[in-house]
Chains A and B, each alone.
Chain A
Amino acid sequence: MATEPTGFSRTVPLSLFAGALLLLGLVLASLVFAAIAREDSDEALHAARLNNRTVLLLSLLQDAETSQRGYILTGTRAYFSDFQRAAALARLQFNSLRDDLQTVSIDEETIKRLETLVSLKLEEMKRSANMQAAGDHERAVAVVTTGEGRRLMLEIRQIIARIAAITDTVGFRKTRHLVDATWLLLATIAGGAILIVLLVAGVMHLVTVRSRQLEAARHALVEYNDTLESKIRQRTQYLERANRELQSYAYIVSHDLRAPLVNIMGFTSEFERAADVFKSFLQTVPPGSAGEIENAAREAVDIDIPEALGFIHSSMKRMDELISEILKLARAGSRQFHPQVIDLRELFEEIVATSKHGADETHATIEIAEDLPVVETDRLALQQVFGNLIDNALKYSFVGRAPYIKVSGKVVGEEAIIDVTDNGRGIAEQDLERIFELFRRSGQQDRPGDGVGLSHVRALVRRLGGDVTVRSVLGEGTTFTVAFATKLRPEGREGE
């Protein structure tokens, strides 16, 4: 069954597609938010570590200062080595820190200043410690006493405090971002989940509706199939009934037309009889004995009355013939068909042999194809149909050209299709349909005929379950194509 595109079958893929797009968007958004969250957390971590490392730098510097002071104060060598280690670590720490500080937007000037301060502080402590080591205790103390070291240390503390504050702020800010991004991530994931649920529900609904429709369609189809046959039977019955009505109508009309015609003919005969009586009477009157009126009476009896009666007779004869033909058609239309197996080739040979316009007298060549089909239909009807066509082909030959008639045929499906082709005078295009009408003829009216044959042919072929068509080129020839059921279906006679 070919389903017609309904609104439903379009909305299914459309809504699925839209839902999938939306879902894809949500997944992409959550990926973006996840990436942002990762970056934020990295940065926050980085800031926190930087903070720690800065504080460690300060602690190392303090360690160095404490050891330096301890050494100068006590002269214990252990302090000196402590100092040297702390100072070396502090320098390393600063060097490792230096590049990272730039990443948290601490300006170059501050970093340089810190570098200078750290160098100066380490230099100051190293100088004083070296003096102590050289045994010059007084000068070492003097270096400390200048307060230069303390001042440096103070400024270092200030800068480190500032750096710590900045990294702290950065860390806080990044953490805040991280929280926001996480929320957004959660929201998109939740949205996606809801969308998936909605999509699945929607699709399931659509599938349910769809399958219900399919089920309904299947039901309808089954029902339709069930009723189709009876509908066809019913229609055929109507048609046959209408056809029968038409035939009985034709019969009644032609029959009823006959009744007044009988009167016209009868009383014309009476009139003729009366005129004859009058004529005989006039003959008894001696010529010239009744003057002017006698001549008029003789003229009426001898010329006018016979002329009028002649026209009345010929017209009545024509009318009688027409009515007879209609009656014949009506009777033929109501004749019951008797299907029998017929070899069309044999049928055509028979027709040609009995053709009234003999092929010999017209020097005609009639070629009947070898492979004409065998059919099961009414023999008399086919004889009348093809007899008419062959007769016409012989009758309406092109003047001065021997008739050549070709009969060919084939079976297509349940129809036999027979072509009767001639090289006759042909039919003008505007007459092609007209020739099938009752009492209509076309072309030069130089052959006897009443315009009934082809209309009879058409009526018969239609009753045989087919139709007759014609192709023609004026002056070259005509092909009649007769199609009819290879196996005649018995006609319904219900309701009779």
Chain B
Amino acid sequence: MTEVKPVTIVMVEDDEGHARLIEKNIRRAGVTNEIVPFLNGSSALTYLLGEDGTGARHGGRPLLLLLDLNLPDMTGINILERLRASDHMRRMMVIVLTTTDDPSEIHRCYDLGANVYVTKPMQYEAFVNAIRQLGLFLSVVTVPEVA
């Protein structure tokens, strides 16, 4: 991961507290990569796809998206669909990190091309544990570059 081009982690999480706790606990797992947080779907989409809406601006950079499904302005599924429809972003690594454990929702995300689905536990100890494990996972995973 610590190659020429370090992976940028884009985090879409509407709960600021959660976002901060996620970041802190990922860091504690030894992840030092840049984390770019967004509190809603539209600002995240603007960042990811750029002004032209194609996502070409991130060409050649490895990006990883931590995506919450319940957002104030749209659902994470909308974002996932938009990314997979984009030529540049369709291979981008997407980790859905959300509280929903509804099997139909999980299937839907994988069908739409999510790489990993992590159910965010709503009990603190389990939450911290899950985030740490996710951090460990991130430190070993190979992330593709944006086309």
In the complex, the answer to whether B124 meets A262 with C-beta atoms within 8 Å is yes
**Bound CA–CA A258/B15 (angstroms):** 12
Listed in ascending order, the chain A residues whose CB lies under 8 Å from chain B are 255, 258-263, 265-267, 269-270, 320, 324
Query: Which residue of chain A has its CB nearest to the CB of B24?
Result: A270
In the complex, the answer to whether A263 meets B123 with C-beta atoms within 8 Å is no
Residues in B1-41 with C-beta less than 8 Å from chain A:
15, 17-18, 21, 24
In the complex, the answer to whether B122 meets A258 with C-beta atoms within 8 Å is yes
Query: How many pairs of A and B residues are in contact by the CB < 8 Å rule?
Result: 40
**Interchain nearest-CB distance for A438 vs B (Å):** 19
In the complex, the answer to whether B24 meets A263 with C-beta atoms within 8 Å is no
29 contacts across the A-B interface (CB closer than 8 A): A255-B99, A255-B122, A258-B99, A258-B123, A259-B15, A259-B99, A259-B122, A260-B15, A260-B17, A261-B122, A261-B124, A262-B17, A262-B18, A262-B21, A262-B122, A262-B123, A262-B127, A263-B15, A263-B18, A263-B21, A266-B18, A266-B124, A266-B127, A267-B17, A267-B21, A270-B21, A270-B24, A320-B123, A324-B123
Known pairs A255-B99, A270-B24; A263 contacts B17 (CB<8 A): yes
Tell me if B128 counts as interface (CB < 8 A to partner A): yes
**Bound CA–CA A162/B122 (angstroms):** 137
**Interchain nearest-CB distance for A249 vs B (Å):** 15
**Bound CA–CA A269/B21 (angstroms):** 10
Beyond A265-B124, A266-B127, 13 additional contacts (C-beta under 8 Å) are: A258-B122, A259-B15, A259-B122, A260-B15, A262-B17, A262-B123, A262-B124, A262-B127, A266-B17, A269-B124, A270-B21, A320-B123, A324-B123
Quick one: which of B15, B18, B122 has the most chain A CB within 10 A?
B122
**Bound CA–CA A260/B21 (angstroms):** 12
Query: Which residue of chain B has its CB nearest to the CB of A254?
Result: B122
Query: Which residue of chain B has its CB nearest to the CB of A324?
Result: B123
Query: Which residue of chain B has its CB nearest to the CB of A260?
Result: B17
**Interchain nearest-CB distance for A363 vs B (Å):** 38
In the complex, the answer to whether B99 meets A266 with C-beta atoms within 8 Å is no
Quick one: which of A258, A259, A262, A267 has the most chain B CB within 10 A?
A262
Residues on B with beta carbons closer than 8 Å to the beta carbon of A255: 99, 122
**Interchain nearest-CB distance for B22 vs A (Å):** 9
Query: Which residue of chain B has its CB nearest to the CB of A267?
Result: B17
**Bound CA–CA A491/B102 (angstroms):** 21
